[in-house]
Amino acid sequence: MSRILIRGGRLIDPATERDEVGDVAIADGRVVALGNEANDFSPERTLDAAGHWVIPGLIDLCARLREPGATRKADIASEARAAVAGGITTLAMPPDTNPVMDTPSVVDLVNHRADMAGAARIAPLGALTQGLGGEQLSGMAALAAAGCPALSDGGQPVTDSLVLRRALDYASTFSLPGLLTPVDPELAQGCLSEGPTATRLGLPGIPAAAETAGLGRQLAVAGATGARVHFGRISSADGVRLLAGALRENRALSADAAIHQLFLTEQDAMDYDPRFHLAPPLRDIVDREALRSAVAEGVISILCSDHQPHDRDAKDGPFSSTAPGASGLDTLLALVLRLVEDRVLSLHQALATVTIAPSRLLGLEAGRLTEGAPADIAVVDPNKPWFCSTETLRSRGKNSPFLGWEFSAQVRHTLVGGRLVHSIAEA
């Protein structure tokens, strides 16, 4: 294993509130010294980080990689490489693959493909129920033994509340959090938030009640179990209010939002551009500001890309007939840093939402820049602008709603387990 010294960077770690200029010494895949303590380290390779930020590698809590089952859109290798180019060193992968990730054999396949790719780590999320059918519990003990750090409904809510209660109870016996999608499927029949914009465009609308109805039921069940429960992709002001009240009573709960929801609104879909067909749908500016406030106040503690790469055919056609979802790996860090530029979050707050917060939820070692931690690290030039275009996106999914945007920071180097897996030369 190589010995690498990252020299002279600004070391930023939200987990310890470290913020200082210094060195990082890496050996045997782990951080062995930081700051002045690295003075006596003899490296085999040195990375000059002067003027750059040295941060923990990002942990993306929700990234569909399309393998197994839909490799015409993307695969584990392509998306793991795209991730590290964007400073992401761990991808949490929902279980709604084909076949569903409800057995150790599918988990083993994913882990094998991730090892072959040699880029970002993959954290496979096991299915709460067999086939995500919402009827029979999955073999949670076997999934935990295979390496699943959490169990998820994979975007397909368990509609039988008794089954959900038993699933959360069972998951808690293995100390695994349950990741739920707060939506009532019967109310979520549409493609844009219900309101004036959907009416003007003649598109079927999804009311905020689709979120609050689903969330309210799941909160009640979660409260009856005492299990650790995480709610994914909160999108509405009503959902934030409901969640905030529940958090005051139950500290075992947490939530995340997709980063694009903090920048876009339903108005962005006015030209019927299918890149803005998302699930949950884009809502209005009141909802967007509520989400921003919720992140700043800690009601929503995690931001994720909700990465969903699609091929051209999936996004070609009338708005309502196209597949929902956006490609998000390439822009996650850039958008998180844009929240700092917009004075929504401090730099430490912003980075915590994509490093230590998801790490704690999943019980990972990564997500911190401390001695003894895995050397999962991103070196970022904060003054290197780049344009988001189909050419600059590393993901096979080019369906980004941020095409044409300019961002201010670029990842120069990424290390995973002490290996340099992404590097670009200085211009």
* Model pLDDT for residues 295-322, shown as the tens digit of each residue: 999 999 999 999 999 999 999 999 999 9
Q: Domains in the chain, please, with CATH?
A: 3-54+374-423 (2.30.40.10), 57-368 (3.20.20.140)
Does residue 427 have a pLDDT over 60? no
The amino acid sitting at 231 is F
Whole-angstrom Cα distance, residue 167 to residue 176? 11
Computed over every residue of the chain, the mean pLDDT equals 96
Query: What 3-state class would DSSP assign to 400?
Result: coil
| pLDDT for 37 | 79
Q: Number of H helices and number of E strands within the chain?
A: 11, 21
Residues facing 12 on adjacent strands: 19
> DSSP string spanning 247-288?
HHH-TTEEEEEEGGGGT--GGGGTT--GGG--SSPP--HHHH
Count the residues in the chain.
427
Whole-angstrom Cα distance, residue 296 to residue 381? 25
- Percent share of the chain, pLDDT over 90: 96
Cβ-proximal residues to 350 (8 Å cutoff; 6+ apart), any chain: 336, 337, 339, 340
CA quadruple 42, 43, 48, 54: dihedral positive or negative?
Answer: negative
Whole-angstrom Cα distance, residue 322 to residue 186? 19
Over range 173-185, report the average pLDDT.
Answer: 96
Pairing of strands 88-93, 121-124: parallel
The amino acid sitting at 203 is L
Q: Give the HSE-up count for residue 205: Cα atoms under 13 Å, Cβ half-sphere.
A: 16
Does residue 1 have a pLDDT over 60? no
| pLDDT for 426 | 60
The amino acid sitting at 357 is A
Question: How confident is residue 35, by pLDDT bands cut at 50, 70 and 90?
Answer: confident
Whole-angstrom Cα distance, residue 19 to residue 31? 16
User: In whole angstroms, what separates CA 378 from the centre of its chain?
Assistant: 16
Q: Where are the beta strands (DSSP E) in 57-194?
A: 58-60, 88-93, 121-124, 126-127, 151-152, 178-180, 192-193
User: In whole angstroms, what separates CA 150 from the centre of its chain?
Assistant: 14
Cβ-proximal residues to 219 (8 Å cutoff; 6+ apart), any chain: 242, 243, 246, 253
Question: How confident is residue 147, by pLDDT bands cut at 50, 70 and 90?
Answer: very high
Whole-angstrom Cα distance, residue 14 to residue 3? 25
Cβ-proximal residues to 342 (8 Å cutoff; 6+ apart), any chain: none
Over range 61-74, report the average pLDDT.
Answer: 96
Residues facing 229 on adjacent strands: 178, 253
Whole-angstrom Cα distance, residue 279 to residue 157? 14
pLDDT in tens, 234-259: 999 999 999 999 999 999 999 999 99
Whole-angstrom Cα distance, residue 242 to residue 213? 10
Question: How confident is residue 226, by pLDDT bands cut at 50, 70 and 90?
Answer: confident
| pLDDT for 240 | 98
Q: What are phi and psi of 136, to 5 degrees?
A: -110, 135
Please write down the long-range contacts of 33-38, taking CB distance under 8 Å and 24 or more positions apart: 33/371, 34/369, 34/370, 34/371, 35/11, 37/371, 38/5
> DSSP string spanning 173-192?
HTTPPEEE----TTT--SSE
Over range 74-87, report the average pLDDT.
Answer: 98
Q: Yes or no: say if 367 and 359 are a contact pair by the CB < 8 Å rule.
A: yes
User: Phi-psi region for residue 160, left (φ > 0), alpha (ψ -120 to 50) or beta?
Assistant: beta
Among 256, 306, 330, 376, the one annotated catalytic:
306
Specify whether 115 is catalytic.
no
Over range 272-280, report the average pLDDT.
Answer: 96
Over range 351-362, report the average pLDDT.
Answer: 98
